[in-house]
Structure 1
Amino acid sequence: MRHLVMAVVAAVTIGSVAAPAPAAAAVTTIAINGTVAGRTFDGVGAISGGGGNSRLLIDYPEPQRTQILDYLFKPDYGAAVQLLKLEIGGDGNSTDGSEPSHQHVRGDVNCDAGYEFWLGEQAVARNPDLKLVALPWTAPGWIGGGNFWSSDMIDYDISWLNCAKRHGLTISYLGGWNERGHDSTWYKNLRTGLDNAGYGSVRIVGDDSGWGMADEFAADLALKNAVGVLGNHYVCGYLSQADSCSTTGNARGSGKPLWASEFGSQDDNAGVVPYIRTVNRGYLDAEITGYLNWPLIAAITPNLPYATVGLMDAGSPWSGAYRVGRNLWANAHYAQFTKPGWRYLNSSASGYLGGNRANGSYVSLKSTNNSDYSTIYETSGSTAAQTVNVTVSGGLSTGTVHVWSTDMGSPDTADWFVRQADVTPSGGSYTLTLQPNRIYTVTTTTGQAKGTAAGPAPHGLALPYTDDFDGYAVRKLPRYTEDMQGSFETRACSAGRSGICLQQVTPQRPINWQDDSDAFTLFGDAGWTNYTVGLDVNMQQAGTVTLLGRANTQNRPQNRQAAYQLRVNNNGGWAIVKHTTGNTDTTLASGTRAALGLNSWHNLKLGFSGSQITASIDNTTLGTANDFSYGSGQAGVGVVGYQTDQFDNLSVTPNTGPVLSTLRGVQSGRCVDVPGAAQTNGTQVALWDCNGGSNQNFTLTDAKQLQVYGAKCLDVDGASTTDGAKVQIWDCNRGANQQWNVNPDGTVVGVGSGKCLDATAQGTANGTRLEIWTCNGGDNQKWVR
């Protein structure tokens, strides 16, 4: 009998959780008996939607787009997603953007709307066994006169399913309304509608809000028969460490599969512990058999919420850069070693190590061939090596088992999803030694592999940038656009102009999932600093258009988009406005010019050079303002309300002014940040998700200073030259401790100290403090401007 022994390393805790003290030197006896079968496994996967979080993936260049899709869907390569939930778009923002409807107005069906059908095609092409799930978060305003729970919505869902069929997609599961409870009569009518339309095989998931629907089954057999799966969200806690999970007696006794139909919402690296705990402990505590992480990928720009949340992130299509997170490999520990239809194994084949949650957990599943099996262990929270003594019986294979592991605390990608030495049982028994803070999969199956593709380093989208929209077919999304509310599509130009224009095509307020806002779209790079954005505008109804610049951090909901705006109405009134993440406005300049009128074309421009902001119409300056609250950000365009105005000839041209740039860590993917946007001398800088904020934009001066806010400098505390001295902001004074050499190899070296800007202890999490340290070539000392 061989023993699997791995080098002991110090445990690394990701996050914090109140949990029982770990048992010392735990030994667990495990009997994996193939005859003690529990519920049927439905799969692990993720959600594209809720919303806009996959938007930029379709704009990625090759080969990076194929690499990302392979990491997500290709069997025996990466995540190998088994369940994929697609949003049924409704023109309203459902977290990180507005997913376009396939039917903006009643009867006008466009089966090529958006990118969700494309994504489904890509997923199924790589894995034909993948199961597709569909769910709406929002709906067009014409639905039911504003009533979601209406026959209109059933017809709308069925028309979406018809579109999916046209794309060769089979939808296996359909939900009601994300996190908005349920109308029992509507669910029964949905079942009838699906059956009558030829979709009798589509199973309804109810109700993506709680387990309450199960409480009605005893008194409403028709409802029980209508619903195929009971789904609930964050069954192990929202933004928690998922120490324990829960369901109800009525749900468990319903005879329905129970799903964690949404979990996650955590960083693609730092969220790995709650990820693996959810998919293990969800079954142990609540008999959950299907799991959908939100979201699949963060293919959004870094100024939006949740920009690093998912299995991986890819917010820079112009550079092709992407990051594969530890969460992806947590999913792989299940999906590369199991398949939907396998059976969970109960009794001691699944449980808590040493009978103590703090030691970790394990779950065993057997194949439909009744011979192969896999056991997934997680030792998060443990502080010492543990031993498991395993005996296999009940018709399961007693042959060699293969072992794969992920070190959840290591920042080194080489420590994630690693093939270890095989173990050969003796008489059906074997022993393993499990190290702390790991995921292990032990399996009799073969063929698994770890993808090796890597994206290039990120870089900004170069200026000038232009788009006349004539290169697109109608009803498409122009590249690098991110609709925040409403829907902006290419359409034939009107008002005497030929060719293709961009048009806001949502004619009324949608049935929203989160708060309403004006319709607007963002485009381009959140790192743009000094530029002029120009756009031709054709106002088709009375109202106001908005041209956005330096569109910076967005808080939820989408009306909390920090940006400067030029607002112009059809009567000629104009204003330069600063809009904040608190949804407040400050008018910086305003006035009136000759009326623009309707159905005529005019050119609007909004320019930035340092703190100076200039607005013009038809090449005549309207006014200027002086403000430097936002040093960088995207451009954008919108309307106040839901007018169906048109836009053409986008141009973003560079201006002179201080050259601002972020410093993004090569190892962490996060930016040098002044915490809380503080301007107090002595504030130590730290890592934080890149968001384009003024507290992340540094100007490299001719005096080798890295200035922030125009008056503060990156400074080594007390002019120290000692390893570990903190790096802070301070009033600029031209001291050597405020001078830095920004080198081609990515290092930023203090002139006074000769030491490198360093992320403490190779930390990668938000809030990791920065210091100076002897230069050693580590990626925690390399930065991309």
Structure 2
Amino acid sequence: MSTRANRPRLRAAGRYRAAAAVIAMVAAGILVGVASPAHAATAITINGASGGRVLDGVGAVSGGGGNSRLLIDYPEPQRSDILDYLFKPGFGAAMQVMKVEIGGDTNSTSGAEPSHEHTRGSINCNRGYEWWLMEQARARNPRINLVGLAWGTPGWIGNGNFWSNDSIDYLLAWLDCAGAHGLTIDYLGGWNEKGYNVTWYKNLRSALNSRGYTNVKLVASDDFGWAAADDSLRDSAFAGAVSVFGSHYVCGYRSAQSSCPSSSNALATGKALWASENGSDDYNAGAAALARGINRGYIDGKMTGYINWPVIAAITPNIPWATTGVAVAPQPWSGYYSIGKNAWVMAQTTQFTAPGWRYLDSSSGYIGGNRNNGSYVALRSAGTGDYSTIVETMDATAAQTLTFSLTGGLSTGTVHVWSTNVRSSNPADSFVRGGDITPSNGSFSLTVQPGYVYSITTTTGQGKGAATSPAQGNLKLPYSDNFDGYAAGREAKYLMDQQGSFEVTGCGGGRTGQCVRQMSEQAPIFWTSGHAEPFTLLGDLTWRNYTVSSDVMLEKSGYAQLIGRANTYNHQGPQNLNGYYFRVADTGAWSILSNNTSGNWRTLTSGTTSAFGIGRWHTLSLTLNGTALTAAIDGTTVGTVSDSTWVAGQIGYGTGQGVTAQFDNLSITPVGTSGGPGGEVRGAGSNRCLDVNGASQADGAVVQIWDCNGGANQQWTPTAANQLTVYGNKCLDVPGTAAGSRARILTCNGGTNQQWRLNADGTIVGVGSGLCLDVNGAATANGTAVQIWTCNGGANQQWIRS
């Protein structure tokens, strides 16, 4: 990182006549000095006396799915390093606001988070990981604003009606739990993206006031649009209850975030306005949109809060939205993580401002009045003359010189410049300190390059964390857990709930020690449109041939399930999963089933054994060895069947809807072999094989996906030279390094276009291109082309090798 010590001191514009020689420096995309006569300078006045709204903060959501789930399971020092990158001032994203999901035992996009009150009156303030995450965030940044919001809830609330007094009591209990953790919640919402009820908000405000939570501000309505603001103009009591009007995806859902308006009625309320959920983009590819949206939300709509979804993708790659947020952390077992460009784009605002700073309206806008040139916002520190101006040039096509004039009581001291080159994939080009500027007579110039974010500031204390991630690695087998080493109410290591709530509790049925129990006793108030039954997943997507075994006890009539080779997961509609299931009911009925992401359940074999019963422990096991699937109860095989649909994936527990059951002594042990040196390479998204078209052995024959059939044209062998060979002497090859270049076979020649990195996350990355082996358009049909493309975490870029 460049520092003032190794850069020449720069003189500001105004020290020389326009015709004088330019004293300038070009580095990190910054040209500072006298504007060249060849560039028409854009004049910007930064007026510290300008009116403007007060910044509430820029941050992100933990929740709306279990997207933070695996973070708590990371080893040290990686866990603390990641937390520092997210929350610590002067280190990384330096989030100023964090919204957390109030868990509801139901899927809310990337998993389910546990409720503090599974059943009426049974409150446990230590469930889940959001309390821990809020504690960690506030320990690093005591000024961070905390926001709570529900997505779904347990079904007992209002007998299925969220807009009831039950939900008000439920939220008050959650606030009490926050207090038990020493946390003060700053803002509270209603029901995420499910509309609003005016009377309910007024009743909630009254209840908060009567319980001593007068400082907790209400946000309405965390939905799309500004209808709640419209209603507040007609209902003064509703207006009095709500402090913030928050709308989702104000710039358009997963858009370029080029235009981010609010509404005339929203502005007329005089309330704070927030982009209370935005983003949903890849942690690197979303950086340009994020840069636009943070600035333009204020310029276009006077929004003083910007909340990205989510904070981090601390989930395995098969879970939906596995690369969204500002970082990814998919492997607690290896400690691997990656900080994205989104983090550094966010830092360009958060490290240079703070909640309570005031936007300067007359000093914010579009460069030269043209959106395509980029945007800028200026903010002033409360009570001082310090200021920061954030400039983004995402759509610019050429360098632009900006001439700044200072007025209105702002500091005329040294100006520091930091920048991020959003168009660069080199981490060294993110959050770079440039040379300082000394204004002359209250003015200075800066030449900005296309595709950058700049922070121009009189503040100090910024920094770029230097912690680094270890390499990726698989979770090795055998793996086991007896669940005795956890505090009651916590989630067992690596278990990721997708529906329901699986938590550690004291064992029943006469057994000592601790077990995992499915806690959801009735269908929840769903957030998604689907009605999947409770299930939880654990493990590595590369696990292939193994036995998963566990002791199981049903507490009520119904069934429990062991899951094997679980891989791609669809969160839309009922949450369906590619994988195998061994299902056993209390009656003794059992079955081995296959499911896929479309919900096409197939019973592969079934039968009935002696009654499994209720309140009695049994040992279930499911062995997956090649195409052979074998199920056993208490050591006795009950069924064997052959099926080749799913070749690798995680294990899991499941139950019927509302069925409480306990699980103990989990064991996953490898069996069989992984086959010879050659084997199939299956697409995780399509479940079809990497295939040479027409079984051709000719140089240039293209590669596609096709139904796996065991043919020689589908048998790929990794070599010590980083090649993937087929037919013994042909290499997987791409002609060039451009995204979209189609994969083919070619006689092996040792070129980098024939070398591949086979990563633990299932990606296959070209050594020469740095791009991922990709199924075109994420299609799944036979014959779909295979190419190289920018790595994005999609299932069409994940491959399972035999």
TM range (shorter): 0.7 to 0.9
Q: Does 1:600 align with 2:616?
A: yes
For the pair 1:564 / 2:583, whether they are aligned, the reply is no
1:714 and 1:729 in contact (8 A); partners too: no
Secondary structure at 2:394's aligned position in 1? coil
Contact 1:485–1:521 (8 Å) recurs in 2: yes
Equivalent in the alignment of 1:681: 692
Q: Paired residue for 2:144?
A: 130
Q: Does 1:642 align with 2:658?
A: yes
Superposition deviation, residue 208 in structure 1: 0.5
CA shift digits 1:415-444 (9 cap, x unpaired):
100001111111111111101101110100
Deviation at 1:740, TM superposition (A): 11
The secondary structure found in structure 2 opposite 1:642 is coil
Cα separation, 2, equivalents of 1:612 and 1:723: 41
Partner of 2:629: 613
Deviation string 1:250-272 (CA, Å, 9 cap, x unpaired) is 10110100000110100000000
Alignment match, 1:91: 105
More displaced 10-residue stretch of structure 1: 584-593 or 421-430: 584-593
- Cα deviation for residue 716 of structure 1 reads 4.2
Counterpart code for 1:545: A
Pairing of 1:269-418 with structure 2 (within 5 A): 269-347=284-362, 349-418=363-432
Contact 1:700–1:707 (Cα < 8 Å) also in 2: yes
Aligned residue for 2:565?
550
Contact 1:705-1:739 at 8 Å conserved across structures: no
AA in 1 matched with 2:439? P
1: CA distance between counterparts of 2:448 and 2:312? Answer: 30
State whether structure 2 residue 232 is matched by structure 1 residue 212: no
- The number of aligned residues is 730
Q: Which secondary structure does the structure 1 equivalent of 2:473 belong to?
A: coil
| Cα distance change of structure 1 residues 169 and 603 upon mapping to structure 2, 3 Å threshold | same
Structure 1 residue 42, shift from structure 2 partner: 0.8
Match of 1:6 in 2: 26
Matched, 1:267 2:282: yes
Match of 2:648 among 632, 655, 663: 632
Q: CA deviation at 1:8?
A: 9.3
Partner in structure 2 of residue 65 of structure 1: 79
Distance 1:659 1:124, change over 3 A: farther
Secondary structure at 1:37 match in 2: coil
Task: Read off the aligned partner of 2:618 and give its amino acid letter.
Answer: H
Return the offset for 1:702: 8.8
Find the partner of 2:546 among 531, 550, 567.
Answer: 531
Q: Contact between 2:734 and 2:742, CA under 8 Å: does it hold in 1?
A: no
Displacement of 1:35 after TM fit?
Answer: 0.9
* Aligned partner of residue 217 in structure 1, secondary structure: helix
Aligned pair 1:541/2:549, yes or no?
no
Q: CA offsets, 1:54-86, max 9 Å, x none? A: 111110000000001111111111111110111
C-alpha distance in 1, partners of 2:788/2:266?
52
CA-CA distance at 1:627 after TM superposition: 2.4
Q: In the aligned structure 2, how far is the partner of 1:370 from the partner of 1:463?
A: 59
Shift of 1:626: 2.3
Task: Tell me by how many angstroms 1:619 deviates.
Answer: 1.5
Task: Report deviation, 1:587.
Answer: 1.6
Aligned-residue offset at 1:396:
0.3
Instruction: Confirm or deny: 8 A CA contact 2:724 2:731 kept in the other structure.
Output: no
Give the TM-score taking structure 1 as reference length. Answer: 0.87
1:652 — aligned with what?
Answer: 668
Q: SS at 2:483's partner residue?
A: coil
* 1:436 equivalent among 441, 444, 450: 450
* 1:26–1:353 contact (8 Å) kept in structure 2: no
Matched, 1:492 2:506: yes
CA distance in structure 2 between the partners assigned to 1:614 and 1:702 by the alignment: 33
Once the 2 structures are TM-superposed, how far is the Cα of residue 525 of structure 1 from its aligned partner? 1.8
Going from structure 1 to structure 2, the CA distance change for 1:591 and 1:370 (only over 3 Å counts) comes to same
Unaligned stretches of 5+ residues in structure 2: 1-10, 13-22, 31-37, 694-700, 706-713, 759-763, 777-785, 790-798
1:33 corresponding residue in structure 2: 47
1:195 matches 2:209: yes
Q: CA deviation at 1:28?
A: 1.8
Please give the per-residue CA displacement for 1:678-720, whole angstroms capped at 9, x wherever unaligned: 5553596799xxxxxxxxx996479999889xx9999647x89
Aligned residue for 1:6, secondary structure, equals strand
- Against the structure 1 CA distance between its residues 727 and 627, is the aligned structure 2 distance closer, same or farther, given a 3 Å change threshold? farther
1:520 corresponds to which letter in structure 2?
Answer: F
Say if 2:66 and 2:110, in contact at 8 Å, map to a contact too.
Answer: yes
Q: Residue in 2 aligned with 1:19?
A: none
- Of residues 596-605 and 153-162 in structure 1, the stretch that sits farther from structure 2 once superposed is 596-605
Distance 1:739 1:614 in 2: 43
Question: What is the match of residue 473 of structure 2?
Answer: 459
Aligned partner of residue 95 in structure 2, secondary structure: coil
Q: Deviations over 1:129-168 (max 9, x none)?
A: 1111111111111111111000110010000000000100
- Name the aligned partner's letter for residue 352 of structure 2: F
Q: 1:652 to 1:220 in 2, by over 3 A?
A: same
Counterpart check, 1:509 vs 2:523: yes
2:471 counterpart of 1:471: no
- Note closer, same or farther for the CA distance 1:607–1:155 as it changes in structure 2 (3 Å cut): same
Distance 1:704 1:447, change over 3 A: closer
Q: Which position in structure 2 is the counterpart of 1:690? A: none
Aligned mates of 2:578, 2:302 — CA distance in 1:
44
CA gap 1:655/1:740 in 2 versus in 1, 3 angstroms: farther
Q: CA deviation at 1:569?
A: 1.3
User: Are 1:177 and 2:185 an aligned pair?
Assistant: no
